[in-house]
Chain A
Amino acid sequence: DADVTQTPRNRITKTGKRIMLECSQTKGHDRMYWYRQDPGLGLRLIYYSFDVKDINKGEISDGYSVSRQAQAKFSLSLESAIPNQTALYFCATSDPRGSPSTDTQYFGPGTRLTVL
């Protein structure tokens, strides 16, 4: 079984709908992240969480919200989806083991979201 899973893998929705993307991990990591990937732009950080009680905005958090239900679960919500939120969304986890310089991220397979 994969260490980092994302559901759904693909989703097509309409403008104005509320959407939730879910991420689960079995790696036992405290840190979790949500990114979006657009063609030609690389990955951009939406939100990150260093533990269940610590949630932080990334560079593009507008229009998104998150919930850290447990150490293993981190959900991303689009309250009212719009077409420019069409993208590939990735969840990631990491465990720095006390040193940021050794902090390696592990990624889920991604969710392809299309907003019509």
Chain B
Amino acid sequence: KQEVTQIPAALSVPEGENLVLNCSFTDSAIYNLQWFRQDPGKGLTSLLLIQSSQREQTSGRLNASLDKSSGRSTLYIAASQPGDSATYLCAASGTRFGAGTRLTVKP
């Protein structure tokens, strides 16, 4: 059974910092790894999807990497802004989610 873990559960940083969110999974036989953003009272919005054959994906200030052999993915956010405050979740093979990291970016 695939287990997905996200550490830390919460993170608070000052505006402008670069930061890394972590996602680990126990079964390396995944077909993709997806990162989502969840704002309070709203659904999840897909940020980046890394296919199993890929090592990373980039969108604007976001960069996600995937290392299947070690069972890890990271989401790098450059030059963080208060508007980045949200909960970030990763999902392995579409339907196995981590519990998320709640990010607060302070002005």
A interface residues (Cβ-Cβ under 8 A, vs B): 4, 33, 35, 40-45, 48, 58, 90, 92, 94, 100-110
Contact = CB atoms under 8 A, between A and B. Distances in A.
9 contacts: A42-B89, A43-B44, A43-B89, A43-B91, A101-B51, A101-B53, A104-B49, A106-B46, A107-B44
Nearest to B54: A101
Interface residues of B, number: 27
A40 B99 contact: yes
A106 B46 CA distance: 7
B51 A108 contact: no
A101 B31 contact: yes
Given A45-B95, A100-B93, A101-B52, 7 more contacts: A40-B99, A42-B98, A42-B100, A105-B91, A105-B94, A107-B36, A110-B42
Given A101-B31, A103-B94, A105-B34, A4 B43 contact: yes
Interface string B67-95: 00000000000000000000001010111
